[in-house]
Structure 1
């Protein structure tokens, strides 16, 4: 894995299905960026349920960002979206237990859902959203060196072998144990930051 020499000036974080910017990893990253790299523009939006609308929001929100100066971090479904953006924009991406077949996996969630961090908040996952996910699926990874994939063998939601196979060309970092949420995120934060060129030592 080649660590990019230049740190991003703009960093995007994408949460997973039913999640939000209030997720542990999003808040941990936001806190680290604020404490150590406040010069980097940070954006962690609440993504709409519609995959097409989510990607449109992200493309519009990053339209003025420098392609060679931006990077995206995504977890689970956010990892899928991060891949879509990396392929379309040519930016670097860090993927945390990324969804590789979201159209297949989320088809069983069609119907009313609750937000993970606010059970009082409901949204409807529509059947056409599955088609939108299918339409967004990148055909291939054109520049594997742009990616860092963190994949936990203890993921209880997604098959780590499927993730590792999809991102094999990226030389994924396979974590023994852990879980889908990557609850030991702090232990892997230095690798993520190092890949992005945001630090030269552990924090």
Structure 2
């Protein structure tokens, strides 16, 4: 049975993000038997979820799936874990992103792609509709740094209180030293 690691980047990020690159490079060097899939997600929530589902639909039938998501990708990875029954590692995950991103309503530009887009109230409603209750917290591992300048780490600790939690002092939203966890992530995902 083939193994697939699905990496989901965050809001205004891309498959070229540092953590996505570090994960793919570690897998390539140490576990080349695992297929790494890092879909480029559109900048708006419903379109991003559609791209994630399309990427999953293209995977080999019966594959062993594990997912890693960062920030808004952690929110989406939670949905993947619930919908597909797989394990997920959430890196500084966004909790209630419709509240967080409300401050970003209006014109935006993705710093990786240069794409211009407008974030609207309709997109906040899409995030509300994409949220899922957590039914199997044992399938989730949260990697959280307290000095995250974008997200309040306490919200993630409350939301995922029954999941496996790794909390580090200091750090930032990018999760300093992420590469230290690649081997443990693959092991936790069961790949």
- TM-score over 0.5 for the pair: yes
Between the aligned partners of 1:121 and 1:171, the Cα distance in structure 2 is 36
Residue pairs, 1:56-135, within 5 angstroms: 56-63=50-57, 65=59, 69-118=64-113, 120-135=114-129
CA-CA distance at 1:14 after TM superposition: 0.5
Q: Quick check: 1:177 aligned with 2:170?
A: yes
CA contact (8 A) 1:8 1:71 kept: no
CA-CA distance at 1:125 after TM superposition: 1.8
Structure 1: gaps spanning 5 or more residues = 1-6, 199-203
For residues 113-158 of structure 1, the C-alpha deviation after alignment (integer angstroms, 9 at most, x for no partner) is 122335x4322223211100001111x2111111111011111111
Residue pairs, 1:122-161, within 5 angstroms: 122-138=116-132, 140-161=133-154
Report the TM-score when normalising by structure 1.
Answer: 0.86
Matched position secondary structure for 1:162: helix
Pair 1:68–1:87, CA change in 2 (3 A): farther
Q: In structure 2, what is the equivalent of residue 196 of structure 1?
A: 189
Structure 2: gaps spanning 5 or more residues = none
Aligned residues: 190
Provide the aligned C-alpha RMSD in A: 1.9
CA contact (8 A) 2:39 2:55 kept: no
Report the TM-score when normalising by structure 2.
Answer: 0.91
